[in-house]
Amino acid sequence: MKVVVTGGSGFLGSHLCEALLRRGDTVWCLDNHCTGRAANVAHLVDHPRFRLVRADVSRACTVPGPVDAVAHLASPASPPDYGRLPLETLTAGSLGTQNALLLAERNEARFLLTSTSEVYGDPLVHPQPEEYWGNVSPVGPRSVYDEAKRYAEALTAAHRRTLAVDSGIVRIFNTYGPRMRPHDGRVVSTFVRQALADEPLTIHGDGSQTRSFCYVDDLVRGLIAMLDSHCAGPVNLGNPAERTVRELAGLVLAATGSSSPMEHLPLPVDDPTRRCPDISRAHELLGWTPVVTLEEGLRRTVGWFSGAPVPGRLRQPLEI
C-alpha cells in the first residue's frame, strides 16, 4: 500500500513508518517537527519507498498520486508539549484531522485516527472499556489534548456515517520505548533519564496512581492490525498489566542499576489516579494482545537511552 503517516517523525510515528516499510509498503511521512524529530527517521530517508515531507497538516494534507491509507498521528502528545503548544494541539485535533480525513475521502482510502486514553479523563470506571464516556474537564490544563482528541473522534465518526469514509479509531494508552525524548515529560523517559544521571526520581504524589505501560513494538502491531481491518472502533490499545508509578520507579532503578533516591512532588492538576485498558475488543476484532513485559521493555529502552547514536546529517525533506 501507499500509506500517508502524519506525525511520522514522532516517537510512535517513526516506529510505524519503519514497520510499514519493513512489510513492503510505500510511506509518505508528513511532519512539521514541532515535537517530532527528523533524526527519528534519518535512517529511512534513503529508502526507495520512503518520502519525508515537512508539512503542517493543520493547513493542508496533500501528497501526489493515489493513496491507499492515511494514519493520522500528528499532535503534541505529552503534558509539557501540549502545555507549551495548546493552540497547536487543538488545531492538530480539529483542522489537522479534517484535512487528513479529506485526503482519505478523496482517495477512498482507509483512515486511522490515533486517539488516546486521555479521552477517559480521570476515570470513574475501571478498567476502561470503549463504551465508557469518560470523566473529563473541558477547561482544565489538560483539556487542550483531551478535547482535541474527543473532537477528532467525533469528526472521524461523522465522516464514516455521512461520507462512508472507511475510518477506524484507536485509543492509545501509555506507550514507551526507544526514540522517546529524554525531556518529553512522560514518566518512563523521565525516570530513565534521571536514573542514568543518578538524579532523584521525581514521583508526583505518593506514587500509588496507576498506569498501564505498553512497549512500542506491541503498540505498532496493533496500529497496523487496525489499519488493515475495516473496523470502525474505537478500540483500546494498551497493556492491561496495571502498575503503580512507585513500582515503575523501582523497576527503572533495577534496569539501570542506579542508586538514585525517590523524591515526591505535588500531583499535577487533573492527573488521573488510575488508568488501565479493557482490551477485549482489540483481542476479539484484531487478534491483538501485547506480549512484551514491562521488565523486558524497560531493559530495551534503557539500552537505547544508554547508547543512542548521535544522528547523522539528514537529507533535506521535501516541501509540499
What residues make up the domain containing 137? 2-175+214-239+277-291
Tens of pLDDT, residue by residue over 88-137, are 999 999 999 999 999 999 999 999 999 999 999 989 999 999 999 999 88
| Residue from 145, 151, 176, 215 carrying the catalytic annotation | 145
CATH of the domain at 11: 3.40.50.720
Whether residue 158 is contained in a domain is answered as: yes
Whether residue 267 is contained in a domain is answered as: no
Torsion 292-296-302-307 (CA) sign: negative
Whether residue 320 is contained in a domain is answered as: no
Instruction: Tell me the three cell numbers of residue 157.
Output: 465518526
CA-to-CA distance for 27 and 49, rounded, in angstroms? 6
Torsion 296-239-80-125 (CA) sign: negative
Whether residue 96 is contained in a domain is answered as: yes
Angle between helices 11-22 and 216-228 (to 10 degrees): 60
Residue 82 vs residue 96, higher pLDDT: 96
pLDDT of residue 42: 95
Total domain count, the chain? 1
- The pLDDT > 70 percentage for the chain reads 96
Residue 184 vs residue 66, higher pLDDT: 66
Tens of pLDDT, residue by residue over 256-265, are 999 999 999 9
* Under 8 Å between Cβ of 252 and 308: no
Instruction: Tell me the three cell numbers of residue 204.
Output: 508526583
215 is catalytic: no
E strands within 10-78? Answer: 26-31, 50-54, 69-72
CA-to-CA distance for 252 and 194, rounded, in angstroms? 10
Whether residue 205 is contained in a domain is answered as: no
Q: Is the pLDDT reported for residue 140 higher than 90?
A: no
pTM: 0.92
Whether residue 244 is contained in a domain is answered as: no
Whether residue 195 is contained in a domain is answered as: no
Tens of pLDDT, residue by residue over 164-182, are 999 999 999 999 999 999 8
Whether residue 314 is contained in a domain is answered as: no
Side chain identity at residue 87, one-letter code: L
Residue 267 vs residue 314, higher pLDDT: 267
Instruction: Tell me the three cell numbers of residue 101.
Output: 480525513
* Under 8 Å between Cβ of 24 and 300: no
